[in-house]
Structures are given as C-alpha cells and as structure tokens.
Structure 1
Amino acid sequence: MADTSLPQAQRLLNKVAVVTGAASGLGRAISLLYAAHGAKLVCADLRPDIDPERSGQAPEPATHDLILARGGQAVFFQCDVTKAEQVAALVAEAVKHYGKLDIMVNNAGVNVESLEPAIIHEASEELFDKTLAINTKGVFLGSKYATAQMLKQEPHANGDRGWIVNVASIMGLVGLESCPGYCASKSAVVGLTRNIALDYAPHRIHCNAIAPGYTQTPMLNAATKLIPPEALGPIHALHPFKGLGEPDDIARAALFLASEDASWITGQCLAVDGGFTTR
C-alpha cells in the first residue's frame, strides 16, 4: 500500500466522507487516501480492525487509528449495512461529529459464494439472499440516507451538494462462473447507480460506481484460497496489463470520482481492472 502519510494535494480538503467496509481491503485504502487528501472520515464496518483469521494477515492498526496517527481526522462507527436503522445512524453520526456529509462510499461487500460455488440450479438460496442483502441492499440504504442528508445541505461553491461512490465489480459487467448471487448483486449496483444519478442530477448530487477487477484484497484471498497456485496464472494472463491490481488502484479512482475533477460526471461505472473487460 502506498505511503499516504506523505504530503499531497488536498483534493478533498474539509469534506466529510463515510466509507463502509472501511476496516480492510478497498475500504481501508479509500479511507486512507481520502484522509491524506484532507477529508474527515467516518470509517464504518462490523469491527474497527482487520480480522486476522478472516484475512490471514498479521494484526494491523484499525483504519481510523492509522488516520489519526498520520494527523488526519477519523472516527469509527459500527454498522451492519443491511439494517436500515444502523445506516441511518451512521449518516447521523457523520453530521453529529462533523456537521455535514459530502461523500458516501458504499463499499461494504461480500462474495460468500466463492467458498461454495454452484451453478444456479444447485445454488444456495441462503447465500444468494445474504449476498444481495449486503452488496445491493447495503448500497440502497447507504444512498437512501446519504441523499436525504445531502438535500438538506447548502451546495458547495461550485453548486455540487454531494458525491456518492458505489463499489460494484467487473462481475457486474461480465459473468463469473458459479457465482449467480454475486453477479446479480453487482449488476444491480450498476443499475442503481444510474437510477440515482438521474434522480438527483437536478440537485447536483453525483452518483458513480467503480467496477474493480481482480484486486489483491482479503476478499480475493478468501475467494482464491481453494484454487491451486498453478491455476492462478491464467487469471493473471486475462489482464492485458498482466497481474492483479492493488487496493490503491481502486482508491485513486474513488478519489477522482469524489473530487471536483469529476464535476461533469455522473451515472458512470468505471472499470478499474487492468484491461480485463476489454476482451
């Protein structure tokens, strides 16, 4: 991960951002980069730190603690994104702590089907429901309460009221064998992003999505741990840039979409995938 403690241009100076799934992977990278660019963070997750058993990594400082240690501003808020009352409380916490909400990053997601892959007639209904509850309903709820708050706020000097960044997946653009729930959930995120963009464009609320490719995160590690190392070579070869992405690759795209550099962009799904979906 890049050293985000180094001085950088403050592209998000004094903006307030909520990031779900902030404890690890993409959410952690996005939170750290946002903070390095001057944003004030509410880091939301089921727990503040990376679960060593789930990630297979050594214990690390919690995301919000690392931001504080680097001189930034951040708080942790425990939140289950499938529960409306908890997501409403999350947005309320941002307003209570910082006075407003400028950026909502709906990042929390799972691919539980990767541990029990199955084609659809053999797929688990329980896993399908769990996947859509977190990956799709979580984005719905995050966007629902974020837009409600943004509508109450005075616009920024450039006329914008807020930025929503949804983390989809390339599997919302193309298929993936034996993961019907994951593909369905991420495709729904792409469609929901376009709907929100249309409905809230008159209010100058941006809504865009990122479709990460195969990125080296704890989720990918869990998904591929059953795959023999020699079988990973073909996955690397599917990327024209060769090899897997890093969380910082996704974080930089999330920074762009939450900044005024994206002032005339809304309703888009940006694939950050090393060229995977060009084939």
Structure 2
Amino acid sequence: MPGRLLNKVAIVTGSSSGLGRAIALAYAAEGAKVVCADLSSTARKDVVIEKEQGKPTCEEIIKLGGVSIFFMADVGNSNDLECLVRAAVAKYGRLDIMVKNAGVAAAGADGLKLVHELSDKDWDNMMRVNSTGVFYGCRAAIKQMMTQDLHPSGDRGWIINTASVAGLVGFVGAGAYSASKGSVVQLTKSIALEYAPHKIHSNCLCPGVVNTALTKQLTEHPEMHDRIVGMHPWGRLGEPQDVARAAVFLASEDAGWITGVPLPVDGGYLAQ
C-alpha cells in the first residue's frame, strides 16, 4: 500500500530529537520527502534521552530507505526560515507540509518560575523560539505554497504547528511557556481562516506531557513522575510516536476537511 504522504515534501523543524525526530521518521515512513531542520543534525547531549540515541534523523531516514536532507536553521532567525523553504523547493520542487515543531521547554536550568521571577531574557527567549519562530516558519511556507499548483488531492499545503495543552489552559510556573504556546494556537486559527480560500490547511498539535528530553527535568524524579502521570487519565506519559501519528493524520487526505484545529494529544488531560 502506498503511504499516506507519498511524494509530499515536508519540512520538520526541531527534527534532531524528541517530537521532531519522531514526526520526521513517521513522515518518511509514509512516503514523504523530508527536509530535517535544526541547529545541528545531531541532538545536543543535554537534550537527548537513551531511546533517541543513534544516527542523525536525516541519516536514519535514508538508512530505512526514505528520502531526506538536513538543513541547519535557527527558527528565531527569519532569514534562516526563508532559506530553509528555498532549499526544500530547490531540492524537491515544491513544499507541501511545514511542521513548525522546534521549541524550548518551560523548565530551564533553574526550574519552573512564577511570573514575578521571570527575567526579560527568560521571556524574550521563550517568545523568540516558541512564538516568533512559528510565525517566521508559517510566513515563509505560506509564501511558497501560494505560488505553487494544487496538490493532486486538491490542496495547496498543510501547516502543522506544535503548541501544547499549556496553550489551552494555564500552568503554575509556566507563564511564559503558556503564553508562547497560546499564541501558536491563535496564529494557527488565524492562518486557517485567511488561507482556507487558497486550500492551505492550518492546524496545531497540543501534546500533554510527553516522554522526551525536554520534559525529563520534570519527570526524572519518581515523585514528580508519578504526580504528572496521575494528571493524565490514560495513566502514562505520552510518547513521541503518539504525537507523530497525529501529525501524519493532519498532513494526510484523511484530514481533508479539517483546518483551524488545536488537536489535543494528551491522554485525556483536557477532558477533566
């Protein structure tokens, strides 16, 4: 059976580890040509967990028989995102899917912070990567999608942003993170309305707490781990593959009449 994303061209930012790596691998397995984008093709040692170790994502895709290239990009730099899109089009002829996944977590080296404890630097860095970086990526992708012919499905493109359940509800100690992810949800909805007439889908993923390196500061202590698991009715943390499967769905023709949706992938967290 042909893959659900056969011959579609996808960019995945933050592809070297965590959700980005899982999404890139899932897209390649479904037949997409994947442009992996990150600050480095190999994840930093401080943002990788044991199960993510191995070849860089691009190399792993090629090893498994897929099609992929790597492009170094800082998502907080608008020129980098414009160059990223141009590189994808130069290599594969068009851009069908833009996954804006790269982000920074709420828990930094100093742990969670209340709003009055946040420095200007804390806030600015969170917004630069999680909010402004999503805008840069969406803008660059939309500019390209608007110029290209319709995909055989009748669609012109798919924008998929990684937000969070924290973009839909507040979290104590994560005010900047929640604000940044909330802006992603609202930008995603606005793009959906503006570009539906041009057949460009715009949706976002809202994961609960997923077992990645970015959450290990919260989950590595048994007491905290059990508390967080208890917040999710499904009784476990999410896994990157849980989110990747949803990302495949949103980029496929199965989601042909879906746009403007913040899709929770959260083990029931928001149902409470």
**Superposed pair shares fold, TM > 0.5:** yes
Q: What SS is found at the alignment partner of 2:103?
A: coil
Question: Which residue type is aligned with residue 64 of structure 1?
Answer: C
Contact 1:81 1:87 in 2 (8 A): yes
Give me the whole-angstrom Cα distance separating, in 1, the residues matched to 2:28 and 2:130.
25
Contact 1:164 1:205 in 2 (8 A): yes
Runs of 4 or more, structure 1, over 6 Å off, are none
Q: TM-score, normalised by structure 2?
A: 0.96
Aligned to 2:199: 204
Aligned to 1:25: 18
Indicate yes or no: 2:153 matched with 1:136: no
Contact 1:194 1:268 in 2 (8 A): yes
Question: Which residue type is aligned with residue 260 of structure 2?
Answer: G
Contact 1:114 1:179 in 2 (8 A): no
Count how many residue pairs are aligned between Structure 1 and Structure 2: 270
Indicate yes or no: 2:228 matched with 1:273: no
Aligned to 2:171: 176
Question: Which residue type is aligned with residue 47 of structure 1?
Answer: S
Contact 2:210 2:238 in 1 (8 A): yes
Q: What SS is found at the alignment partner of 1:115?
A: coil
Structure 2: where are the runs of 5+ without partners? Answer: none
> Which of 181, 190, 210 is the aligned partner of 1:186?
181
Aligned to 2:73: 79
- RMSD (Å), alpha carbons: 1.3
> Which of 43, 59, 66 is the aligned partner of 1:65?
59
Contact 2:160 2:205 in 1 (8 A): yes
Give me the whole-angstrom Cα distance separating, in 2, the residues matched to 1:178 and 1:278.
22
Aligned to 1:106: 100
Question: Which residue type is aligned with residue 275 of structure 1?
Answer: G
Structure 1: where are the runs of 5+ without partners? Answer: 1-7
Question: Which residue type is aligned with residue 227 of structure 2?
Answer: P
Aligned to 2:28: 35
Q: TM-score, normalised by structure 1?
A: 0.94
Question: Which residue type is aligned with residue 229 of structure 1?
Answer: P
**1:56 Cα shift?**
4.8
Contact 1:84 1:141 in 2 (8 A): yes
Identity %: 49
Give me the whole-angstrom Cα distance separating, in 2, the residues matched to 1:122 and 1:17.
39
Contact 2:17 2:47 in 1 (8 A): no
